[in-house]
Every structure is written in C-alpha cells, then in structure tokens.
Chains A and B, each alone.
Chain A
Amino acid sequence: MVVDARGSWCPGPLMELVRVIQEEPVGTEFELWSSDEGSRNDVPLWLEKAGHELLGMTREEGYDRYTIRKKHG
C-alpha cells in the first residue's frame, strides 16, 4: 500500500501517517510518500514516539519514500 502525500504541506503527510496507523491492522506495512522536507525529522520522530517501525527511507527525485510497519494496536 502506498500513501501518496506528495504536494501536501506540513502537517499533511504526518496527519496521513497517523490516520493510516489508526485505521489499518497491526502488522500492516506501507509506504508513505512525502515531498515535505519537515517529514524527514517528523516522521521518524513520530514513529519512535508512537512505537511503530521505520523499515527504510529512500530519497527520490523531489520526494522521499518511507517504509513503515504498524507494530501494535
């Protein structure tokens, strides 16, 4: 699953991330795409705080891809 938040300004990508984590079942892996530079700190920070896993982050042309796993309910 890809959550495409490209073009969305802060706090849009983070809000999308929180919403998906709330809605999807434990164990779900998904990608979040964000072109917001603030996400580079905000996304890992929020995941650490909320106890979910950042499996990887890839920089693409004009946006970043975050691979995420929901670890608990």
Chain B
Amino acid sequence: MESTSAPTVPQMAIVLTEDSTDKLLPFATLVSGAVAMGMRVDVFASYWGLMAFRARPAGASVRIAPGHGDDGARLETALKGKGAPSWRSILEMARSLGDLHIYACSQSMEILGLRKDDLDPLVEGVTGIATFVDRTRDARVAYFV
C-alpha cells in the first residue's frame, strides 16, 4: 500500500457530510483561512457533502437547512443578495492560493451512483477512508462538518 510521508507544513483535515449553504459557507471560510495561514487542508467529501460537488451549471443555488424559522429566511435572503460570497468561489480561490485537496468518498460514490465525471473539478480524486486517514494522520486539527 502506498503511504504518504509526513507533511512538512501544519495540516488540517475536514470530513464534510452536509450540503446546505449555511454549512458550506462556514466550511469554505474555514478552509480559506487555514490555507491563507499556510496550512495544508485535506477534505473528505462524503454523502451530502459529496453531493454538494456534483457538477452543476454556474451559480450554485442557496439552500438553508430547515428548522431555523424566520432567521433561516433572513439568512437565505442575505445570501441571495448582491455581493454575497459563494462557497464554491471561496474554495476555488483557496485552491488557487494554497495547498487544498478535496477527495470524494468512494463509498458515497457507489451508493449514490456517481462517477468522477459527475463531480466538480475541484474534487481531485476518489479515495477510500483508509487512504484519507493515512494522508491526514499527522493533521493538527480535524473537523467534522
């Protein structure tokens, strides 16, 4: 089995399982901050987190997780407004600026019937969990979104 050597820069690992805009925006913001501060970031996109990366026409839609009532409605309006950031554009910028790697969970790919071609090019490959764990073995911080 191929094993990766320990990274020389501090590393952050993130498992992403959600696809609503109110989860994806803080996720993308966290990624961009970490990359800007010189960290390598490895993301494992799983289940709905993987579905968020299905290739789609430009201009991803805004969708807020249910259960937030009027606050959710206000957030949706704000995020659809002029000048609101898109999580994908933040991720794209983060990748152009630093060391960001996004992998698709192979189990999710099979269950959801997806092929690599169905995914956003920001996703660089499909991996199993053992490979992801090996890649992020020395990460200083790990998050589950």
A interface residues with partner B (beta carbon < 8 Å): 7-12, 14-15, 18-19, 22, 42, 46, 49-50
Contact = CB atoms under 8 A, between A and B. Distances in A.
Size band of the interface chain B makes with A: 10 to 19
B29 A10 contact: yes
Interface of B: 29, 32-33, 36-38, 83-85, 90, 93-94, 96-97
Nearest to B90: A11
A7 B33 CA distance: 18
A45 to B, nearest CB: 8
A49 to B, nearest CB: 6
A14 B29 CA distance: 11
Contact of A11 (B32, B83, B96): B32
Given A9-B85, A12-B85, A18 B97 contact: yes
B36 A11 contact: yes
A22 B97 contact: yes
Given A7-B83, A8-B83, A9-B84, A15 B97 contact: yes
A9 B79 CA distance: 11
B95 to A, nearest CB: 11
A22 B96 CA distance: 10
B85 A8 contact: yes
Contact of B33 (A8, A9, A11, A19): A11
Given A10-B29, A22-B97, A15 B36 contact: yes
Contacts of A14: 32-33, 36
Contacts of A15: 32, 36, 90, 93-94, 97
